[in-house]
């Protein structure tokens, strides 16, 4: 059961990261007229968040596939959950205030992924 929770948590994080990458141009365009520097910074940050989520999810998935009982696996799960909770807090303080539903989903999905990973770690 714990491996299933870990895999679901990892897939949720990675899947949301992948979902971040597809609308990047549309999201950046939604900011209206921007300087090249500001457009590049927003694009970079949007892609970086997606890539980080993919990395967290992939790390959890790969470690689970190799040996989810090892101490290194446990450390990977805990630090991944901490990173997801930190991202959820940042999203609550920033993106959650924006009237665009996908931004409001971020803290929920980050927290859900973290809880699944922690539950898989503790079970």
Query: DSSP of 23-76, one letter per residue?
Result: THHHHHHTT-S--HHHHHHHHHHHHHHHHHHHHHHHHHHHHHHHHTTSHHHHHH
Q: What is the pLDDT of residue 7?
A: 97
Q: What is the pLDDT of residue 85?
A: 98
Write the CA distances from 69 to 5, 25, 56, 96, 121, integer angstroms.
13, 41, 18, 36, 9
Query: 60-99 pLDDT, tens per residue?
Result: 999 999 999 899 999 999 999 999 999 999 999 988 788 8
Contacts of 25 (CB under 8 A, 6+ apart): none
Q: What is the pLDDT of residue 104?
A: 86
Whether 103 shows a pLDDT value over 90: the answer reads no
Q: How many CB atoms lie within 10 A of CB 91?
A: 21
Whether 100 shows a pLDDT value over 80: the answer reads no
What are the sequence ranges of the domains in the chain? 2-20+48-122
Whether 20 shows a pLDDT value over 80: the answer reads yes
Q: What is the pLDDT of residue 31?
A: 87
d(CA 80, CA 31): 31
Q: What is the pLDDT of residue 15?
A: 97
The pLDDT confidence band at residue 55, using thresholds 50, 70 and 90, is very high
Q: What are phi and psi of 32, to 5 degrees?
A: 80, -155
């Amino acid at each position: 059961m714990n491996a299933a929770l870990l895999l679901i948590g990892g897939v949720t994080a990675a899947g949301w990261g992948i979902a971040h990458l597809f609308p990047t141009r549309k999201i950046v365009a939604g900011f209206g007229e921007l300087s090249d520097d500001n457009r590049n910074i927003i694009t970079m940050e949007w892609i970086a968040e997606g890539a980080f989520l993919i990395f967290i999810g992939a790390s959890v998935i790969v470690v689970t596939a190799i040996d989810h009982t090892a101490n290194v696996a446990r450390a990977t799960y805990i630090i991944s959950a901490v990173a997801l909770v930190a991202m959820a807090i940042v999203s609550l303080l920033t993106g959650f205030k924006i009237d665009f539903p996908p931004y409001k989903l971020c803290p929920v999905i980050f927290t859900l992924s973290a809880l699944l990973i922690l539950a898989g770690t503790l079970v």
